[in-house]
């Protein structure tokens, strides 16, 4: 493409994935340094943040974000994954715990200046799939209704259903059904699709994007290892080119081609497109981030006008 990728997308990164919390260190400065690296990098138009429990750190983050002129998105996935709370739990008391933390996430997203909140479905069992579906629908509608009062859009991220996170939503056809059900009463709802999850749901870019086209509101790109027994198996988001991994430049190029064909290149309303790539143990986070940018740049350069 002759035109810049920034013409059509707000390119971003997910702070807690690019610089995992364990790499922030135990001091305020570790987190702040990582945040500033992203905010100072003009190759990024968007940043995704998650829960910041420390009041002083959250206040400092707000000040830095306000200077950045970046699109801010809030990821509530860690609020669920780190606690084990399940928004489709069949036990109503447990479901309400998940709903409560998501509602608190809406408040934090609004405080940080984010315009969207993303989350994921919880684990499920085949024999109670429909009951879990109704529980997730209840949670999602409640969160969307509250988020609307704060001007926040809600996105459900489509995950694997049987290999790692084992979430109720996807695969893509079930995600489409769920999005349609939520949209019946909540217009501030959509889906987040991630290239790194396509191998984990045994689907292709074309199938996922065409199936979910009316509901896609945010995009992630990344990689996955789907050969059992090898490092990084499952939903670990290793760098592009990682041994035994599924995605690289050609797969990202195909992803871009399908997005272009399906009308997602929108100059007047560019969609958020975030890197979800994380260093494996012993890897350098800055180098892994640079690796991802190089793959994006090469795939974009190969994309036909």
Separation between Cα atoms, residue 110 and residue 67, nearest integer Å: 17
Give the N- to C-terminal CA distance of the chain in Å, as an integer.
Answer: 5
* C-alpha dihedral, 218 to 295 to 279 to 233, nearest 10°: 80
For every residue of 47-87, DSSP letters joined together read: EEE-----HHHHHHHHHHHHHH--EEEEE-HHHHHTTT--T
pLDDT, residue 25, reads: 57
Q: What's phi and psi for 221, nearest 5 deg? A: -130, 145
Separation between Cα atoms, residue 47 and residue 12, nearest integer Å: 5
The two structure tokens encoding residue 41: 């990098």
> Strand 271-275 vs strand 216-221: parallel, antiparallel, or unpaired?
parallel
Domains of the chain: residue spans and CATH:
5-302 (3.20.20.150)
Q: What's phi and psi for 176, nearest 5 deg? A: -65, -45
Separation between Cα atoms, residue 274 and residue 285, nearest integer Å: 16
The one-digit pLDDT tens for each residue of the chain (305 residues) are 999 999 999 999 999 999 998 777 545 568 999 999 999 999 999 999 999 999 999 999 999 999 999 999 999 999 999 999 999 999 999 999 999 999 999 999 999 999 999 999 999 999 999 999 999 999 999 999 999 999 999 999 999 999 999 999 999 999 999 999 999 999 999 999 999 999 999 999 999 999 999 999 999 999 999 999 999 999 999 999 999 999 999 999 999 999 999 999 999 999 999 999 999 999 999 999 999 999 999 999 999 99
The vertex-195 CA angle with 193 and 199, nearest 5°, equals 110
The secondary element (H helix, E strand) that includes residue 131 is helix 129-149
């Amino acid at each position: 493409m002759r035109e810049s990728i920034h013409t059509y997308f707000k390119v971003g990164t997910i702070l807690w994935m690019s610089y995992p919390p364990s790499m922030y260190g135990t001091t305020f400065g570790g987190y702040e340094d990582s945040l500033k690296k992203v905010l100072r990098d003009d190759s990024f138009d968007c940043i995704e943040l998650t829960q910041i429990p420390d009041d002083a750190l959250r206040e400092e983050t707000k000040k830095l974000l306000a200077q950045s002129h970046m699109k801010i998105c809030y990821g509530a996935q860690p609020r669920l994954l780190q606690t084990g709370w399940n928004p489709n739990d069949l036990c109503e008391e447990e479901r309400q715990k998940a709903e409560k933390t998501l509602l608190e996430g809406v408040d934090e997203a609004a405080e940080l200046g984010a315009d969207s909140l993303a989350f994921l479905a919880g684990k499920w069992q085949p024999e109670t799939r429909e009951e879990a579906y109704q529980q997730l629908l209840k949670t999602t509608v409640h969160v969307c209704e509250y988020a609307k009062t704060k001007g926040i859009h809600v996105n459900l991220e489509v995950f694997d259903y049987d290999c790692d996170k084992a979430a109720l939503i996807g695969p893509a056809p079930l995600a489409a059904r769920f999005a349609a059900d939520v949209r019946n009463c909540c217009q501030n709802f959509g889906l987040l699709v991630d290239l790194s999850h396509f191998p984990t749901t045994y689907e292709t870019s074309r199938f996922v994007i065409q199936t979910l086209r009316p509901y896609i509101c945010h995009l992630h790109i990344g990689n996955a290892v789907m050969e059992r027994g090898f490092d990084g198996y499952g939903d670990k988001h290793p760098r592009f080119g990682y041994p035994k991994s599924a995605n690289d430049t050609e797969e990202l190029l195909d992803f871009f081609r399908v997005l272009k064909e399906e009308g997602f290149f929108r100059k007047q309303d560019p969609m958020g497109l975030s890197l979800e790539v994380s260093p494996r143990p012993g890897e350098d986070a800055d180098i892994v981030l640079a690796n991802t940018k190089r793959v994006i740049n090469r795939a974009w350069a190969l994309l036909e006008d």
